[in-house]
Amino acid sequence: MSSTHRDSPASTEPNEHPASSPLSIHDMTVAYHRRPVLWDIDYDAPLGKLIAIVGPNGAGKSTLIKAALELIPKVAGEVLVFGKPYRKQRHVVGYVPQRESVDWDFPVNALDVVAMGLYRQIGWFRPVGKRHRALALESLEKVGMAAFADRQISQLSGGQQQRVFLARALAQDAELYLMDEPFSGVDAATERAIIDILRELREAGRTVMVVHHDLQTVEEYFDEVLLLNMRMVATGPTSEVFTPENLRKTYGGKLALLDRVGHQMQQGGARK
């Protein structure tokens, strides 16, 4: 601290993030229309764990995942996957978007959707071949949906659609999985099936981060938890962090001040 003239010295040295961490987010701020919705997230995911991202509606859970995947621009900060920038590590990251994000009336069947997870592997211009079809079927089998491979996707129930999405990510055989609300709108049986798959992934040494909204099951399902409400409230092993005190901090309404300052920044950026 002595070496510096400013208030805070060490902030320019990001090297404390371990290269082994499947996902390290360094001082990331994300804004929509210049209004910050995620403030200064600094997080290192531990390897080979099931991690829940928990927070109230509008807390920025999906935003966190999307910003990490560079689907929305960041105002500040950087994201490293196994110590390298995400751009170079895309093949090791599997993404399961929200089920509502696509038009389920689209003319493809379950197998086609799963094969989409392999498109990058197949490469430009080449059609989906037999080998890849077999791979896709394999991962459909993993989620117990092989019998529905030929079904048009609108003819699947909500839980089955979710499993197809999961299979699409599995087909990719990634090291790190980011899943946006895989449990939303699914029945109890599907939920069990999904969590079994997630556990299998963990046994295989993969890291899985899941946006989750059911507080009842967090302790049962997840090893680690990341409490989020526009800022990171707490993070760590579920047993330590998932406390009433922390939950109150997370769910006790938005920080009104944060909202106000965000508004101010938006106005300040756009007008004034």
Partner 1 sequence: MTVVARVARWCRGTATIWWLSPALIYLTSAASQASELEDPPTRWTEGLYRVVMLRDYNTRVVLAGATVMGVTAGVVGVFMLLRKRALLGDVVSHAAFPGVAIAYLCAELTSPGTGKTLSYLLVGATVGGVFGAMATSWIRRATRVKDDAALAIVLSVLFGVGITALSIVQRLETGNAAGLTNFIYGKTASMTWSDLKLIVIASVVVAGVVMLLFKELTLLCFDEQFGASHGWPTASIDMCLNMLVVAVCVIGMQTVGLLLVVAMLIIPAAAARFWSDRIGTMTCIAGGFGAVSSATGVVVSSIVPDLATGALIVLFAASLFVGSMLFGVRQGLVPRGYLLFRLRRKTAIHHLLRAFYEAAEVRTQLNGQLPTSLLLSHLGWKERTFAGVAKRGVRKRLVRRDGQEMSLTELGQRESARIVRNHRLWELYLIRYADIAPTHVDRDADQIEHIIEGDILHELERTLAQSADQEVPQSPHAVAVSHPSAVVSGDGQSTKSEGS
Partner 2 sequence: MTGRPKSALTVVQRARRKSDRLSTWCYMFLAVSLLFSVIGIAVISEAWRPLMKWDAIDNTMVLASVLVAVACSVPGCFLVVRKQSMMGDAISHAALPGVVIAFLLAYMFAGEDHDAESFETIKRSMMFGGAVFVGVLCTLLTESVQRLGRVEGNAALGVVFTSLFAIGLLLMRAKADDVHIDPDCVLYGSVENIALEAYLTGQIPSAIWVNAIALAINVFLVVLLFKELRISAFDPTLATTVGINSRMLHYGLMTVTAITLVAAFETVGSILVVAMLIAPAATAYLLTDRLSWMIVLAMIIAAAAAVVGHASAIVVPDLVLRPLGINSVESVSSTGMTATVIGGFFLIAIFFAPRHGTVSRALNRVKLAIRIAEEDVLGELFRRVERRDTTATSAVLERLGQLHRRSWLNRFALRNLVSADAVRRDDDALHLTEEGVLWAGDVVSSHRLWESYMSKHFALDDDHLHEAAERVEHFLDDEMRSRLRDELGDVDVDPHGRDIP
Of 225, 217, 161, 169, the C-alpha closest to 197 is: 169
What the block records as the tokens of 128 is 């989906």
CB nearer to partner 1: give 184 or 261: 184
Q: Using the rule CB under 8 A, is 119 a contact of partner 1?
A: yes
CB nearer to partner 2: give 26 or 213: 26
Of 228, 236, 263, the C-alpha closest to 55 is: 228
Q: At what angle do helices 130-142 and 158-171 cross, to 10 degrees?
A: 130
172 vs 156: CA distance, rounded Å: 22
Q: Using the rule CB under 8 A, is 83 a contact of partner 2?
A: no
Q: What angle do CA 262, 249, 73 make, to 5 degrees?
A: 35
What the block records as the tokens of 195 is 């969590």
- 124-163 positions binding partner 1, by CB under 8 A: 124-128, 152
What the block records as the tokens of 176 is 């790190």
- 63-82 positions binding partner 1, by CB under 8 A: 66, 69-71
Neighbours of 87 (CB within 10 A): 9
Q: Using the rule CB under 8 A, is 32 a contact of partner 1?
A: no
Q: Using the rule CB under 8 A, is 116 a contact of partner 1?
A: yes
Which stretch, 8-16, 122-130, 137-145, 191-199, contacts partner 2 (CB under 8 A)? 8-16
Q: Are 235 and 226 in contact (CB under 8 A)?
A: yes
Selected from 32, 42, 86, 116, the binder of partner 2 by CB under 8 A is: 42
- 99-158 positions binding partner 2, by CB under 8 A: 105
- Beta carbon of residue 266, minimum distance to partner 2 (angstroms, whole number): 9
Selected from 4, 100, 106, 264, the binder of partner 1 by CB under 8 A is: 106
Q: Using the rule CB under 8 A, is 265 a contact of partner 2?
A: yes
Q: Using the rule CB under 8 A, is 271 a contact of partner 2?
A: yes
Q: Using the rule CB under 8 A, is 33 a contact of partner 2?
A: no
Q: Are 60 and 37 in contact (CB under 8 A)?
A: yes
230 vs 89: CA distance, rounded Å: 27
Query: Which residues partner with 237 through β-bridges?
Result: 224
Which stretch, 38-46, 97-105, 207-215, 243-251, contacts partner 1 (CB under 8 A)? 97-105
Q: Using the rule CB under 8 A, is 220 a contact of partner 2?
A: no
Q: Are 161 and 148 in contact (CB under 8 A)?
A: no
60 vs 181: CA distance, rounded Å: 13
- Beta carbon of residue 68, minimum distance to partner 2 (angstroms, whole number): 17
Residues forming contacts to partner 2 in the complex (CB under 8 A) are 1, 5-11, 27, 29, 39-40, 42, 75-76, 105, 227, 231-235, 249, 255, 257-258, 260-261, 264-265, 268-272
